[in-house]
Structure 1
Amino acid sequence: MKHGGKCFFSVLLLPLLLMLPVISISLKQSMKQSTEILLRTQRAQLEDPKTHLRDWIPSKHSPCDWVGITCDYQTHEVISIDLSEFELSGTFPSSFCQIPTLQNLTLADNYFHGGISSNDMTPCFKLRHLNISDNLFDGVLPEFEPQFGNLRLLDFSQNNFSGEIPRSFGRFPKLQVLRLFSNGLNGTIPGFLGDLSELVAFEIAYNPFAPGSLPVELGNMTKLENFWLPVSNLVGVIPESFGNLVALRNLDLSDNDLEGRIPDSIGGLRSVEQIELYNNWLSGELPESLGKLSNLRNFDASQNNLTGKLPESFLGLQLVSLGLNDNNLEGEVPEIIASNTRLVQLKLFKNKFSGSLPKDLGRNSDLEDFDVSGNRFVGELPSFLCYRKKLSKANVFNNRFSGNVSAALGDCSSLTYVRIFNNELEGEIPVGLWSLSNLTLFELRNNRFQGAIPSTISNARSLTQLLISNNQFSGKLPLEICGLVDLSVADLSRNQLSGELPACMTGMKKLAKLDLQENKFSGRIPSKVSSWRDLTELNLSVNRFVGEIPNELGRLPVLNYLDLSENLLSGKIPTELANLKLNKFNLSGNNLAGRIPSGFDNNIYLSSLVGNPNLCSPDLKPFTPCPKTKTTSWFLIVVILGLIALLVLSFFWFCKSKTKTIGRKVKLSWKLTSFHRVSFNEEEIFASLTDDNLIGVGGSGKVYRAKLKTGQTVAVKKLWGISVKPEAERVFQSEVGTLGSIRHINIVKLLFSCAGDDFRVLVYEYMENGSLGDLLHGEKGGVLLDWRKRFTVAIGAAQGLAYLHHDCTPPIVHRDVKSNNILLDEEFCPCVSDFGLAKTLRREGGEGDNIMSCVAGSYGYIAPEYAYTSKVTEKSDVYSFGVVLMELVTGKRPIDSSFGENKDIVKWVADAAVATQENGDGDRSSSLRHLMDTRMKPSSADYEEMEKILNLALLCTSAFPLNRPSMRRVVELLKDQSAVSFSSMPLSK
C-alpha cells in the first residue's frame, strides 16, 4: 500500500518536473523582455540629469534590483515602476506599459511635460495604479478606453491640464482614488462622476472650474470617505443628496461661492469626522440635525452669513475644533460646551453673541486656541481657560467683559498670544501674566487696568509686542524691561507711568515702534540711541522730559515718525533731524531755543514748531528774526581759514596715503569684473563709501551714492561681510550671473563688480528718483502724482520682466518683484533691480531646475501657490507685478491696516470688485473709483484707464497660475487696454 502510494505521487510529480524547464525559460524570456523595455524607454524618453537611474545597465540581468523597480517575490516579474522625486524630465513614457505584468506606474514629483493623448494611455490598460502628479503635463485630459477595468488609483494632480473632465472618467468600475486637484481644469464638474460607485477619495480641488453647482449625482458615491473640493468656483446650494454619503469622513467645500442653507440631510453623514464649509455665502440657521453626527470632530463654517442661535445638541458633540467666526450668529453660548472633554480650538469671533460665557469653559478639555473677539459678551472671563495648562492663544477683545483677570491665567506657561483690549476689565494684572516665557504678543489696550509693571517682566524674553495703552498703569518702568531683547513694538501710551526712562532701553536693538505719549515720564531722553537701527516711530509727547534733544536721533536710518511735543525740552533743534525722512514731525510745546534749522524753516513745519517762543527764523512767522552775528575781525577770519585749509590738506594727504595702501593690498586680493566701459576705478569707488553718501540699508548690505570725478553718479552696493552674512555670496553671484549677461533699457545696469576676501561690491547706474515704493509710500509721496507717469512706469517695468521671461535663454524668474525693486531715473523711466533671489529655469532638467526649499520674496507680493507647490515659474512674478499695478492705482501698500483684519491689497481689491459686481448696475468698474489714489487728480479718461489697469491687476493675481497672463501678454494688454474687459475677470470671494 505504501509502495503503491509512492508510485501514485511519482506519476503526479513527473509532469510538473518536466514543466519546470519550460516555466524557467518563460520567466527568463519575460524578464528579458521587461529589461529591454525598461532600457529602451530610459534611453528614448527619460532625461536623467541627476543620474538617479545609473544602475539601470544591461550587465545586471535582473531589473528587480534596480532603483524604482519592484518585482513579484514569487514570479520575479516586474509589477511596479516608482520613479517619484527623481528629477526626471521628458514626455510621458508610455512604453513602460508594454511590460505585460506592470500594475503600478508612479512618476510623481518630476519634470515630465507635454500633452498626453488617448493613444499614449492605451497600452496602460492593465494598470491598477497610475500616478503622474506634480509634473508639468499640459493640454486636455486623455480619454480612457473601456478596457481600463482594473484601475484603482488615478492621480493627475498638480499639473497644468485644462479643459473639461472627459466622459470616460466616469467609467472606472473599480476606481477608488481620483485626484485631479491643482490643475487648470476650466469646464464644469460633471454629474457622471457620481457613477464611480467604488470611489473612496474624490479630490479635484484648486481648479478654475467654470462657475457651476454641485451635481446631485455625486450623492450616489456611498463608499466615499474623502470629498475634497475647496477653491473650485462652486455656486448654488449643497444638494440634499449629500446626506447619502454615509461612509464620508471628510467633507471640504470651503472657499467657494455656495449659498443657501446647510441641508438638514447633513445629519445622515454618520461617519463624518470633519466638515469644512468656510468662506462661502451660506445662510440661515445651523440645522439641528448636526447634533446627530456623533463622530464629528472638526467643524468650520466660518466666513459665511449664518444666523440664529447655536443648537444645544450640536454644542454637545465631542468636537475638537469649532470655527464659526465671521457670521451673524447670536444669543448665548450653551453651557453644555463646557462639558466637552476634547475641545481644543474654539473660534466664535465676529458674530453677535451675547451674555456670559460658560464659567467652566476650559475645565474639562485641553483648550489651546480660544477666540471670542468682536461679540457682545459681558461678565467675567472664565477662570478655567488654562486649567489644563495648554492654552496658547486667548483673544477676547472688542467685547464688554468686566471684572478682574483670573490669577490662574498668570500661571498659564503655554500662552503665546494674549489680546484682551477694548473691554471694561479692571484691577491689577496677575504678576505671572507679565512674565510668561513663551508670550510673544501681550495686548491690554483700552481697559481700566492699574498697578505697576513688575520687574519679573524680564522673564518674558519671547515678547515682540507689548501694547498696554489707555489704562491706568502707574509707577516707573523697571530696569528689567531692557531684558526684552526681541521687543519690536512697545505702546505704553495714555497711562500714568512716571520716572526716568531706563538708559539701558537703548540696547533694545529690535525696537521698531516706541510710543510713550501722555504719561508722566521725566528726566532726559536717552542720548545713545544709535543701536535703534530698526526704529520707525518714536512718540514721547505729553510727558515731562527735560534737557536737549539727542543728536543721534537724526542718524537713525529708518525713523519716519517723531513726536516730542508737549514736554519741557530745551536747547537747540539738532540739525541732524533734517536728515530724517519724516512722515510725522512734532516738536511743539517745549522750551526749545535758537535758530530753526534750514531743513525745517518753512510753513510746512510751522504747526510742528509752535509753542517754542525762543526759536527764531529769518522768514518763518510768527517766530522772531534771529539776531545777526557780530562781524569778526579779518585777522580772526584769516586764522580760522588757515586752520581749516591746513586740516583739509592733512586730511587729503591722509586719505590719499590710505587709499594707496588699500589699493596696493586690494590689487593683490580683489577680483574685478567690468560689464560696461567705465572711466573710473575701484579706488575712487571705495573712497566714496562713507556715511555721508549712504542712501539705503537692506538685508544684504548698504547702498551708497558715489559722485565721481568725471561728473558721473553711480550707486554702490556693499554687501555685508561673507563671514557675517554667508548668504551675501549667493546674492552677489546671483546679481553678477544675471545682470552681467543681459542688456535691456528696463533692467538696471550693473557696471562692474569687485570681490575681496571678505567683501563684495556691486556698482550700478544711479537712478535719480529712487524706488517706486519710496515715491508711492515714502516721504516723496507727493512726487509721482501724475497718472500718465505711473502708467509709463507700469509699461516699462512690465517690459523688463517680459524680457527676463521670454527673451533670455534660459528664462529668468526674478522672485522678488515689488515696488521697492523698481527704480526710476530722472525721466521716471523704470528699471527692474535687485536680482539677489533671481533663478534661471531649465525645464528639461539639469542644474537650473528649481525646487525651492523655502518661500522666496517679500510679504504681500508672494503668490498663493507657494502653499501647495515648491516649483518656481514665471507666473509667480506675474502675481507680484499684479500687486505692483494695484499699488500704482490705489497708492496703498500691499499690507495696510485700512484693509481690515487678515486682508492684503489683493483681497481688498477683489472683495470690492465682487461687491460691485453684485450691485447689478451693469457698470461695476465705475464703482471701483473709491479705490483710486486720492492724491491724484485724474481726468475722466484717466479714470477709465485706471479701472482697466486695476482689472488687469486682478487677472495677474488670480489664485490659479494658469489664469494669469504671461508677462509678454501683460505688456500687450497695457499697450492695448481695449483688450481688457471687466466681464473677463474671474472673480471669487
Structure 2
Amino acid sequence: MAAFLSLFLLFCFLACRSLSLTQDGLHLLDAKSFLDDPVSSLSDWSPSDATPCNWTGVTCAPPPLFPAVTALDLSNLGLIGPFPSALCRLLDLSSLSLSLNYLNSSLSSSSFLGCYSLTRLDLSQNSFTGPLPAFLPSLLPRLLYLDLSVNNFSGPIPSSFGQFASLRSLSLVGNLLSGPVPAFLSNLSSLHELNLSYNPFTPTPLPPSLANLTSLRVLWLASCNLIGSIPPSLGRLSNLTDLDLSYNCISGDIPDSLAVLSSVVQIELYSNNLTGPVPSGLSNLTELRLFDASMNQLSGQIPEDVFLAPSLESFHLYENNLTGAIPSTITRCDNLAELRLFSNQLDGPLPADFGKNSPLSFVDLSDNLLSGEIPAGICGGGMLDQLLLLDNMFSGSLPESLGQCSTLTRVRLLNNRLSGEVPPAFWGLPHVWLLELAGNCFTGDISPAISGATNLSKLVISNNQFEGRIPEEMGALSNLYEFSAANNRLAGPLPEGLVNFAALGLLDLHNNSLSGEIVSGVRWWKKLIRLNLANNEFTGSIPPELGDLPVLNYLDLSGNQLTGTIPLELQNLKLNEFNLSNNQLSGTLPPQFATRIYENSFLGNPGLCVDVNEPCAGQRRGGNSIRYGFPWLLRSIYILSAAALVAAAAWFYRKYRSSKEVNRATEKPSWMLTSFHKLGFSEDEISGCLDEDSVIGSGASGKVYKAVLSNGEAVAVKKLWETPGKTDVFESVDDGFEAEVATLGKIRHKNIVKLWCCCTHKDCKLLVYEYMPHGSLGDLLHGSKGGLLDWPTRYKIAVDAAEGLSYLHHDCVPPIVHRDIKSNNILLDEEFGAKVADFGVAKAIVGKDPKSMSIVAGSCGYIAPEYAYTLRVNEKSDIYSYGVVILELVTGRRPADPELGEKDLARWVQSTVEHKGVDHVLDPKLDVCYKEEMCKVLDIGLLCASKLPISRPSMRMVIKMLLEVGSENKQLKPAKDRNQVSLLP
C-alpha cells in the first residue's frame, strides 16, 4: 500500500510539473527580462512551455527526472544590456556564449555567483568596460576556455589570471589593456592558446618565462608593444604550431632556437625591427608551412639551407634589405606554394629548376635586382596563379611553357629587359585578367590567339617594339577595361571589333603608326574615360559619336591627319584634357571651345577659324589664327536664334512627353511609390527616364541614371541590379527593402544625400536621390581633374563627410553603420559640399545575416583589419574607412594603387612617413603653403585608420580635431570664389 501511494504521489508531481515551466526555464525568463531584444531573437522563450530545451540557444542534458540546461549559445542575437546574472542560477550550466552582442557595463563578482560549473565562457565582441574581472579564477574554478576579446576592458591583466587551475585557452584580443605583458601567465601550465594581440600594453620585452608553457600550441602577440629581442627560450615550446609576434618593435636577430620548434606550422614576425640573417637551422622545421618575416630590417643573404624544409608552403621575406642570390635549394621545396621576396636587393638569376618541382601559386619577386631568364619550369607544378616580377633586370624571351600555364590570372612583368616575341599561346591564356608587359623590348605582333583570353580586363603593353596590326580577334575580349599599347610600332587601321568593347574605360594607343579612319560605332563605349590616339596617321573626320560618351573626360587626337570640321557634338563632353592640335581640321570652331581654356587645344590646324561672317583667317594669311569672341551683333543674333530653337524644342518635347504619358496611362503600370518628401513628379516620369544615354554611374548594387524631369529639375535614380536565378538575394530585398528605405527616408541632414522616394515594380526597385552635379569625390579626385581640387576644398570635403558620418553614428536612433564609406560614396553638390551616399543599400540587399554583411559591406583598401578575427562591422569599421578617405584627400592616391605594391594606402602612408618623411606622401598637386595643415589632417587620418579599433576616435572627436586644425590657420575662402574649382563642370 505504501509503495502504491508513493507511485501515485510521484505521478501527481510529474503531472503538475508538466503543466508549468521548469525552474531552469524560469531563470532564463528572469535573465531575458534584463535584456533588450530589439529583433525578437528570443521570441520563442515562452512561459507556456513545460521545458526550455527547445528554445533558441538552449541545450539540455537529461538528468534522472527532468532535463537541465547545460549549454547556452546566445551569440549574435543583437541583445542589449548588462550581463544577466540570473544565468548563474542554472546549476548545470557548463558552456555560456554571449559573443557578438551589445552587452555593456562592467562585470562584478555578484553577477557570477553560482556559475561554478562553467567550463567555457565567451563574452567576446561586446561593449564591456572596466577592469578585467579578477574574481573569475576563484568563482569559475573549472574554466577551460575564456574569451573576452574585442571589448573595452582596460587596465593591466590582474595577477589572479595566473591562478586558473585548468585553463587551456585565454583570449583577450582587441581591448584597452595596459601594463606589461605579464610573466605570471607562465603559471598556466595547462594553457594551449594565449591570444593577447592588439592591446596597447606598456612597451616591454616578451617574458622569457612564457617558455614554461610547454603545452602551448598558439602564441598570438601581434601589436602588443613588445620591445627587446625574441627570447631564445621560446625554442622549448615543443608543441607550438602558431607563433605570431608581428606589428611590434622587436629588434635583434631571429634566434637559432626557433629551428627546434618541430611542430610549428606558421611563424609570423613581420613589421618589427629585426636584423641579421634568417636562421639556417630552419631547415629542420619539417612541418613549417608559413614563415613570414616581412616588413622588418633584415639584412644579409638568404641561407642555402633555409629552403630544405620539406613541408615549407609559404615563405615571406618582403620589404627588407636582403642581398645576394636566391639559393638553389629552393628547388627542393616540394610543397612551396607562396614565395614573396619583393622589395629587397636580391640579385643574380633564378635557379634553373625554379618551380619545376613545387606547386607554386603565388610568386612575387618584384623590386629587386634579379637578372637572367625566367625559368622554363616556373609553372611546372601546374598551379601558378600570380606571377609578379616587375622592376627587375630579367632578360631573354618568355618561355614557351608559360603559354601552357592556364591557371595564371595575374601577370606583371613590366620594367625589365625581356625581349623576343611573346609566345602566341601566352596571349590567349583563358583566366588572365591582368597582363602587364610594358617597359620591355618585346617584338613581333599581337597574336590572334588573344581571342582566347576571354577574362582579360587590363592589357598593358606600352613601351615595347610590338609591330603589325591590332588583330580583329581582340573584339572577342568583352571584359576588357584598359588597353594601353602606346610607344610601339603598331600599324594599319583599328579593327572594327574594337567597338565590341562595352566595358572599355581606357584606350591609349599614342605614338604608333596606326592609320585609316577612327572606327565608327564608338557610341557603345559608354564607360570610356580616356581616349588617346595621338601621334599616329589617322585620316578622315572625327566621329560625332564621341560626343555621346557620357563619362569621357580625356580626349587626345593630336598629331594625326584628321580632316573636316570639329563636330558640334563634342561640346556635350566635360573634358579635362582636350587636344586636337596638329591635324588638318577646318571650318568654324564650335562656340563652347572658343574660350581661353582651350586655346592650346587646336594649334597647328590652319583651316580652323571662329568668325563665321568672314573667310577663315588661316585661309587669308596661311597661318593658324584662332580668334576668340564674336562681334556683338552676330552674338546677339545667335543668342536669339538659340533661344527660339530651345523654346521650339521644349514645346515639341512637352507634346511628346504628354503623348507618352497618355500612352503609359492606358497601359496602367503597377509601380508602387513610397515618398519621404513632397514630390513634384510621378513614378511614371521617373521610370520613363531610365535609358542608357542617361547612365552616370554603375556600382556593385546597381546602375545610376540622371533623370531630367519635366519641370527642368534633375534627380539621380539608382536601379538595383536584377539577378535572375539568384532568388535568395531578392528574397532578402523583399524582406527588408520597405523597412530599410523607411529608415533612410527619415534621415534629415545637410551632409547626407536626400532620398526623395523609392519605387517598386515586381523585381525592379528604384531609389530616387537628389542629384549631385559634381559627382563622386573618387571620380573627381583620382581623375584628371584632381589637380583642380585645391587643399581648402579638400579640407571642407573632409569636414562635411565627417559631419554626415557623425550624424549616422551619434544622432540616429538606433545608430546607423554605413559599412561602405569610400570616396566614391561621397558626393559633391554645386558648391562642392560633401554628402554621404549609398548607406543602407547593402543592408537592404543582404538582410540580417552577419556573414553576408561582412562579405558585401566594404571595398578593397577601405576594410578595417580587424576582419582577421571578427566578422562584425561596427562604427569603428566606418571610422577606419573614413580615415582612408582622409589619406586619399591628402595624398591624392587611390586606396589600392598598384604603385603601392602589395600594401594598402594606410600602411603605405605610415611606412613612408616613418622611413622617408611626410613630403613623400603629400599630393604634389597641392600648394605647399598649406603643408602644415595637410600634415595635421594626415595625422588625423592615420589615427582613424589605426590597426587597433580602440585607438580610433569617435566621429564627434574627429570633427573636433578637424575644426581645431582649421581654426589654427587662416580662414578659407568659399569654393565658388576660387578659380581652380570654378573650372569644374
TM-score between the two structures when normalised by the length of structure 2: 0.84
Q: What is the alpha-carbon distance in structure 2 between the residues aligned to residue 65 and residue 883 of structure 1?
A: 44
Shift of residue 275, structure 1, vs aligned partner: 0.9
- The alpha carbon displacement at 1:266 in A equals 1.9
Match of 1:907 in 2: 907
The aligned runs of 1:249-264 (5 Å cut-off) are 249-264=241-256
CA contact (8 A) 1:672 1:752 kept: yes
Q: 1:932 to 1:271 in 2, by over 3 A?
A: closer
Distance 1:182-1:665 versus aligned 2 partners, 3 A rule: farther
> Which one is further off, 84-93 or 774-783?
774-783
CA–CA distance in structure 2, aligned partners of residues 979 and 266 of structure 1: 54
Partner of 2:119: 128
In structure 2, the residue matched to 1:174 is 166
In 2 relative to 1, CA 282–849 (structure 1 residues): closer, same or farther, beyond 3 Å? closer
- Specify which of 305, 311, 314 is matched with residue 306 of structure 2: 314
Measure how far apart 1:497 and its partner are.
2.2
User: Is structure 2 residue 167 aligned with structure 1 residue 162?
Assistant: no
Counterpart in the other structure of 1:297: 289
Counterpart in the other structure of 2:543:
550
From 472, 479, 482, give the equivalent of 1:489: 482
State the secondary structure of the residue aligned to 2:504.
coil
RMSD: 4.3
Whole-angstrom CA distance in 2 between matches of 1:253 and 1:557: 51
Q: For residues 654 and 378 of structure 1, do their structure 2 counterparts lie closer, same or farther at Cα, with a shift above 3 Å needed? A: same
Alignment match, 2:819: 815
The 1:960/1:910 distance shift into structure 2, 3 A limit, reads same
Q: Distance in 1 between matches of 2:572 and 2:68?
A: 74
| Deviating more after overlay: 321-330 vs 149-158 | 149-158
**Retained in 1: the 8 A contact 2:489–2:513?**
yes
Alignment-derived partner of residue 716 in structure 1: 715
Distance, in Å, in 2 between the alignment partners of 1:206 and 1:818 is: 25
CA distance, structure 1, for counterparts of residue 873 and residue 592 of structure 2 = 47
Report the counterpart of residue 864 of structure 2 in structure 1: 863
1:883 aligns with 2:884: yes
On the 8 A contact 2:797/2:833 being kept in 1, the answer is: yes
Identify the residue that residue 369 of structure 2 maps to in structure 1.
Answer: 376
Q: Which stretches in structure 1 are left out of the alignment for 5+ residues? A: 1-17, 841-845, 917-926, 981-989
Structure 2 Cα separation of the partners of residues 935 and 371 of structure 1: 32
- 1:186-205 matches, within 5 Å, as 186-205=178-197
CA deviation map 1:949-989 (0-9, x unaligned): 33222222222222222222223333445999xxxxxxxxx
Which structure has the greater CA radius of gyration?
A: 1
- Report the CA distance between 1:542 and its aligned residue: 2.1
Q: Is 1:529–2:522 an aligned residue pair?
A: yes
Equivalence map 1:278-427=2 (5 Å):
278-318=270-310, 319-427=312-420
The SS at the match of 1:146 is helix
| 1:289 alignment partner, SS class | helix
- Which residue matches 1:924? none
Q: What letter corresponds to residue 812 of structure 1 in structure 2?
A: I
SS of the residue 1:800 aligns to:
helix
Shift of 1:503: 0.8
Distance of 2:904 and 2:531 partners within structure 1: 26
Preserved contact between residue 91 and residue 114 of structure 2 (Cα < 8 Å): no
Q: Which residue, out of 838, 841, 857, partners 1:837? A: 841
* Pair 376,215 (structure 1): closer, same or farther in 2 beyond 3 Å: same
Equivalent runs, 1:500-899 vs 2, <5 Å: 500-617=493-610, 623-624=624-625, 651=652, 654-655=655-656, 657-661=658-662, 664-665=665-666, 669-672=670-673, 675-677=676-678, 680-682=680-682, 689=689, 696-699=696-699, 700-704=702-706, 706=708, 714-720=713-719, 736-751=741-756, 772-773=777-778, 776-777=781-782, 781=786, 784-785=789-790, 787=792, 790-824=794-828, 829-837=833-841, 852-896=853-897
Conservation of the 8 A alpha-carbon contact between 1:381 and 1:405: yes
CA distance in 2, matches of 1:57, 1:902: 57
1:923 maps to: none
Tell me the equivalent position of 2:973: none
Q: Deviations over 1:602-658 (max 9, x none)?
A: 44434432222222245999623589999x9xxxx9xx9999799759825732541
1:969 lines up with 2:975 in the alignment: no
Displacement of 1:278 in angstroms is 1.8
Distance change (3 Å), C-alpha of 1:507 and 1:84? same
Displacement after TM superposition at 1:167 (Å): 1.7
- What CA distance in whole angstroms lies between the structure 1 residues aligned with 2:393 and 2:834? 52
Q: Which amino acid aligns with 2:806?
A: A
Of stretches 143-152 and 957-966 in structure 1, the one that deviates more from structure 2 is 143-152
**Aligned residue pairs: how many?**
931
Structure 2 residue 943 is the aligned partner of structure 1 residue 955: yes
Query: CA offset at residue 592 of structure 1?
Result: 1.7
Answer whether contact 1:207 1:232 (CA < 8 A) is retained: yes
Separation of aligned partners in 2, 1:717 and 1:592 = 38
Q: Which has the higher contact order (CA 8 A, sep 6+)?
A: 1
The 5-angstrom pairing of residues 416-455 of structure 1 reads: 416-455=409-448
SS in 1 for 2:569: helix
Which whole-Å deviations, capped at 9, do the CAs of 1:444-491 have from their partners, x for residues lacking one?
A: 222222222222221111122222222222222222211111121222
Cα displacement (A) at 1:141: 1.8
Letter in 2 for 1:744: H
- Please state how far the C-alpha of 1:820 moved relative to its aligned partner: 4.6
**Is contact 2:42-2:56 (8 Å) kept?**
no
> Kindly tell me: are residues 720 and 431 of structure 1, through their superposed partners in 2, closer, same or farther at Cα, counting changes over 3 Å?
same
User: AA paired with 2:87?
Assistant: F
Q: Which residue of 1 aligns with 2:3?
A: none
Q: Provide the residue aligned with 1:151 in structure 2.
A: 143
Gapped runs of 5+ residues in structure 2?
1-5, 969-985
How many angstroms does 1:306 deviate by? 0.9
- Per the alignment, do residues 468 and 961 of structure 1 end up closer, same or farther by CA in structure 2, a change over 3 Å counting? same
CA drift at 1:438: 1.8
CA contact (8 A) 2:44 2:56 kept: no
1:101 has 2:92 as partner: yes
CA distance in 2, matches of 1:912, 1:371: 21
Change (3 A) 1:626 1:692: farther
Q: In structure 2, what residue type is equivalent to 1:81?
A: A
- Cα distance in 2, alignment partners of residues 682 and 695 from structure 1: 20
Shift, 1:236, TM fit: 2.8
**Kept after mapping to 2: 8 A contact 1:659/1:683:** no
| Counterparts in 2 of 1:683 and 1:602: CA distance versus 1, 3 Å | same
Q: Please tell me whether the aligned partners of residues 891 and 922 of structure 2 are also in contact (alpha carbons under 8 angstroms).
A: yes
- Say which SS state the counterpart of residue 298 (structure 2) adopts: strand
Q: CA deviation at 1:755?
A: 5.3
Question: Alpha carbons of 1:367 and 1:660: their partners in 2 closer, same or farther (altered >3 Å)?
Answer: closer
Give the share of equivalent positions with the same residue, in percent.
42
Superposition deviation, residue 847 in structure 1:
7.4
Structure 2 contact 610–628 (Cα < 8 Å) conserved: no
Residue deviations 1:665-702 (CA, integer Å, cap 9, x gap): 58874545554456x44399669959999593343344
**SS of aligned partner of 1:609:** coil
- Cα shift at 1:220: 1.9
Deviations 1:105-160 (A, max 9, x none): 23344444433223323432332222233444343321124354322211222334
Cα–Cα, structure 1 residues 683 and 402, in superposed 2: closer, same or farther, change >3 Å?
A: closer
Q: CA deviation at 1:215?
A: 2.1
What is the CA distance between 1:547 and its match in structure 2?
A: 0.9
Q: Which amino acid aligns with 1:102?
A: L
Query: Contact 2:686 / 2:707 at 8 angstroms: preserved in 1?
Result: no
CA-CA distance at 1:416 after TM superposition: 1.9
The separation in 2 between residues aligned to 1:234 and 1:786, in whole angstroms, is 38
Question: 1:118 and 1:400, CA in 2 relative to 1: closer, same or farther beyond 3 A?
Answer: same
Moved more, 313-322 or 809-818: 809-818
Distance 2:169 2:687 in 1: 67
